[in-house]
Structure formats: C-alpha cells, structure tokens
Amino acid sequence: MSFLAPAAIWFALTIPVVVLFYLLKRKRVVKLISSTLLWQRFLSETQANAPFQKLRHNWLLVLQLLLLALAVLALSRPYFSGPAKEGALRVVVLDASASMQSTDESPSRFEKARAEALKWVDGLYDSDQMVVLQVAGTTEVKQSATSNKAALRRALQSCAATDGPTHLTEALKLAETLTRDHKDAEVHLFSDGAVADLSEFENKGLNLVYHPVGQRANNLGVVALDVRPNPEDVMQRAVYTSVQNFSLETQQAQLELRFGDQLLEVKQLTIAAGETSPQVFTTGQSTNGVFTVRLTTKDDLAADNEASIVSTMPEPVKILLVSRGNRFMEKALRAASNVELTIATDSTDDAQTFDLVVLDDVIPAVWPKANVLAVHVGNTNWFEGISRTENPTIVDWKNTHALLRYVNFDNVQISETMVVKMPTWGISLVDAQQTPLIVAGELGRQKIIWIGFDSLQSTWPLRISFPIFIANAVDWLNPASARNNQLLVRSGEPLRFALMQPVTTAEVVFPNGTKKSLVIETNAHEIIFGETQQQGTYHLRVGADNATFCVNLLDAAESNIKPRPQIQLGKYGAVSGSTVKRANMEMWRWIAVGALFVLLFEWWYYHRRTA
C-alpha cells in the first residue's frame, strides 16, 4: 500500500494532545457543604498538588484515538497499486456512435462508458498523462496529452453520443501514432464492439484494452430507404424500405409512411429473429416534399426507428443518342422511365442542352460536356493508350455497384474490345483478363460510363441484363438523380451541394431548429457541410435558393446492437473484454466511512455512560 498525500501523516502529532487532555486533572468548582464525611475521596484528589493524574483505562479515550488515527489515514490517501506503471501514457477512445445510445444500460451505454472512463481519470498518477478521443463518424481529439485531471474530466463531460456509425479505424490509427514512442502506453477503448473490420491492426502490436458495455440486443431498425417513380405509373412514387430484426425473438411492429406531417399508410409487421422485411409503399405526390418511414415500437435503440428522404417531382430526362442506327440501344433507352430521346448522327455544341449524351460507336466532332455513356469509343483525355483484343472472357463484375443492380454477365460473349489502362478517375465494373470492359467515374465534374466493346458485336443485347443496365445508367447519369442523391446523407458523412452561381454566405437550419451561418469562398463550386451527426431533416439556404436534405443512420452494422465480448483484429487477432481495474485503488473513502461509524459509536457510548 502507498500514499498519495504522505504529508498528511504529520496530523498524527495531534494524538498525544488527546492523551494529554485525559492526563490533566479536572478543574473543580468550589462549593460550600455542611460536611465532608461522604466526600473523602474527592477531598483527597483536590488536595493533591500534582497537575496530572494517572492515566486510567477509558473506552472513550480508545475510541477517540481510533477516530483520530482513521482521520489521519484518510487524509494521507492510501491506495493499492494496480498493473499500470507510473509515468505511463493512456489514450482513452470513447465510442459515441448511435449504438451507444442503447438503453439496455442505465441510462445508456454511452453514459456508462463515460462513467467508467472517468474512473480511470481518478486513478491516474501525478506523472501519468492521458489523451481523450471521441469516435463516431469522425474522430475528434477532445483533450491532448495532459496530467490535469480537471481538464480530462471536462473533456469527457463534453463528449456526446451521435446518430452516426462507428469508424474506429481512424481513431486507432491516431492512437497508434500517439503511443508509438511510449513503451508502457495503453489504448483504452470504451465501446459496445459494433465496429467494422480492424484487420490492418492485426500485426501492429497495439496495446489495446477493450472495456465492453451492453447487455442485450433488443432492436428493430430501418436499414434501407429509397424513393423512385412507380414503374406502373410515373405520376406515383414508390417508397422502398427494409426493416431488420436484430433481436433473438420474433418482433411485431407498425411501420408508418408520412409525407411531411401527413400520415399516408400504416403496415403491420411480424419479423422473425435475424430476418429482414422489405416493404414497398406506393402513393401519389403533387409537390416536392419529404417521405418519412417510422417504426412505432419500443426497443433499446431509437436512433434507427425513423428515416426520411427528399422526393422531388419527376422531370423528363433529355437524352441525345449519337448512333449509326443501333435499334437495341434505342429501344433500351426508350424503355427507361420518363425519357425524352433525340437521335442524331453526330454531336454538336447543342448537346449541352441535354441531360446526358450516348455515343454509340461514333467519334463525335465535338465532345459533349454533359454526362456521357460512351460505347466502343475512346477519348485520349480519358485513357493513356488504346489497343484491341479479340474474344475477351468476362472474369468478374461488381454487382454491388448501383450501375450493376440486378445485372449479371453470365453467358455474355464478346468478339472484340478495346484494351485500356485503368484510369485514376474511374473504377472498373466489369473485367476481362486483359482489360477492364466497363469503367465508370467522374472527370472534371462530368460523369462518364465507358463500355470498351460494341454491343452489336456481342450477345449482350439479347440478354435481359442489357435494358436493365441502360436504365441504371440513365438514372446514374441523370443530373437530377445526382442532386437528389446528394440530399440523402448518412449520419456523420458530409453534404456536398453543388453551386449553380457564386455565393459568399449560406445558412443551415438543424432538425432541432438551431441555425448556423456558413462562409463560402468566392471561387467555390460546392458547399461541403460536415456537421451531420444528428439525424433528421435539415434546411440549407443559399442566396435566394432553399434546399432540404435528410440525414439518416441506415446502417445495419450499427443497428446490430448485440454486445461483443471481444473485438476481432483480423483472422487471428482478437482483444477480449478487459477486467483490469483502475491503476490506483484509493481507500480513503472507506477509511472515512469507518471513522464516521467510530464517531457515532463514541457519541452513543458517551451518552449511555452519562445517562
């Protein structure tokens, strides 16, 4: 056992003073009496000349000495040393993601984690230092390395849970940088373990201590939301959503669809444990507005029970097809929803009036500045060099990309294709052994889809995947779709809003009604707004224009609030929940409580004896 305030032991010099009070004779009060016959003993004591008397056994003296000893011991702050070493650096990583709002802990997982982190602040040596990091969608340094316990407590108290997912990789990278040159440094993670893959830390030797929180996984969550024109009636809207049950039992709930403040429809859901229930609402829409789906159920996490999306009235997509007469391409474009198709044999300056241009095996005289679907035509500004190869075999395609939704390339044969080097501006969606076959990306604010082979020199137009791909491409290249997609933001991710004209100021109204002014640079082409930790509907005012955007969680990994007893670091590495106690286990509180009980007993014994 050691002492944090050993100088307090000097108060033990008061113990002899108490003993001295018991050695001193009492001062007698002179009273006149008729006879001293019955007071002989008292008379002998008053006649003694010595100022001190013999110390007799007295339980009150014993109790008072014990009380004083306990008080001195409490003031000296004794403690038992734990496994931590004096002078170490500790990095506290506090998970503030949406799952930490779960109420299976009282009052929430986040509050319990913060309380545990505060205990580690109390247990610091004077020579120890601590860093406080808050992690959710982004990592925020709440307090740099310091030994000031008051500053560390303020930093932890300033942390707040958000509605965003956990991006722990960034926080652990920062923690690794901070602890790299400290031999005995520790990284303390206070979390429920709902984190993404951390395999890159498998061999980093990070001294990670995991403090798990959470007890159960009683939760239903909205994990997907989209709105599109109804394929059967373009004047109606189809709202697609998915609800997943993350609990261990079958759950029942009501799912509401609202447009603004108006309740449109309610569905009764029964979802088995671990299952997902996709739902589709069809409804009319006469003005631009916000659709909201809401689960009316009581579970442990409320942050994922509601999601909203902006829906604007559909406008025709103006498409220019530059072709030599590809009937398959023409029919596929006309089959796409709400399209105005114009066919030409070449591209001119007038192409700028169209939303997108399709170049079908035609090198244009003027390359369009609008978004482009280029089939079997290459631009030297897109690729460094172009060659050709025959009979390429499709080996892979990215079916998770929006352009390849419901698209596969089974049994698609190609007679010839261009061979290009993969550009930096795009990603490959379909690959052959020699070359990418389909590339999509953005170059200089222009969206491009490049197909390296002539569709008429392949069996692709005979497959159902061809018109599906063209419909996906029209939606992906449509500027209106891109603007609508920008208005649906995941919690913690920034809003990117393109500016049509120069502005210098803008204002954001948060879901809770608070406002914030934004200063915009003179030559800025877009607004990047990153304070999206709170889900709900935001309003952006830019000059005379107003825009509405919605922030949602929509993250199945975050909605899965099952507590993890350990965190996996790659295939073979793992960090189990820690049972390590605070480095300094101070005992003064218990000693002070003992002193209080001795004081009460001494009071009781004194009054019992004198009663």
Q: How far apart are CA 203 and CA 571, in angstroms?
A: 11
Q: What secondary structure, in 3-state letters, does 34-49 show?
A: CCCHHHHHHHHHHHCC
Burial group, residue 95, by CB count within 10 angstroms (0-12, 13-18, 19+): buried
Segment among 80-89, 193-202, 442-451 with least mean pLDDT: 80-89
| Residue recorded with tokens 């204002």 | 507
Q: Using pLDDT thresholds of 50, 70 and 90, give the confidence band for residue 583.
A: very low
The 10 Å Cβ neighbour count of residue 175 is 27
d(CA 130, CA 124): 8
Given a contact cutoff of 8 angstroms between Cβ atoms, the answer to whether 405 and 429 are in contact is: no
pLDDT given at position 342? 92
Kindly report, residue by residue over 496-545, the tens digit of the pLDDT: 887 877 888 899 999 999 999 998 888 888 888 999 999 999 999 987 77
At 105, give phi and psi (nearest 5°).
-100, 150
Torsion angle in degrees (nearest 10) through CA of 82, 88, 89, 91 = -10
What number is the average pLDDT over the span 571-583?
60
Give the pLDDT score at 17: 76
Residues found in the chain: 611
Token couple for 237: 């809207």
Average pLDDT, the chain: 85
pLDDT of residue 581: 47
pLDDT of amino acid 291: 96
Q: What is the C-alpha separation between 199 and 204, in angstroms, rounded? A: 10
The Cα–Cα gap between 158 and 133 comes to: 11
Does 156 score more than 90 pLDDT? yes
| pLDDT value, residue 426 | 94
By the 8 A CB rule, do 447 and 456 touch?
A: no
Domains and CATH numbers, the chain: 2-79+593-610 (no CATH), 89-215+563-582 (3.40.50.410), 220-314 (2.60.40.10), 317-482 (3.40.50.880), 483-552 (2.60.40.1930)
Determine contact, residues 540/548, Cβ cutoff 8 Å: yes
* Range from 77-86, 446-455, 456-465, 594-603 carrying the lowest mean pLDDT: 77-86
Q: Residue 293: beta bridge partners?
A: 257, 307
Per-residue pLDDT, averaged over 120-139, amounts to: 90
What was the pLDDT predicted at 212? 93
DSSP per-residue letters across 361-394: S---SS--SSEEEEES---TTT-S-EEEEES--E
Q: Which residues of 564-589 are buried (b: 16+ CB within 10 A; e: fewer)?
A: beebbbeeebebeeeeeebbbebebe
pLDDT grade for 245, boundaries at 50, 70 and 90 = very high
pLDDT interval class at 604 (50, 70, 90) = confident
- What 3-state DSSP class applies to 315? coil
Instruction: Provide the whole-model pTM.
Output: 0.69
- Does residue 160 or residue 64 have the better pLDDT? 160
pLDDT of residue 75: 76
117 close to 92: Cβ distance less than 8 angstroms:
yes
How much of the chain exceeds pLDDT 70, in percent? 86
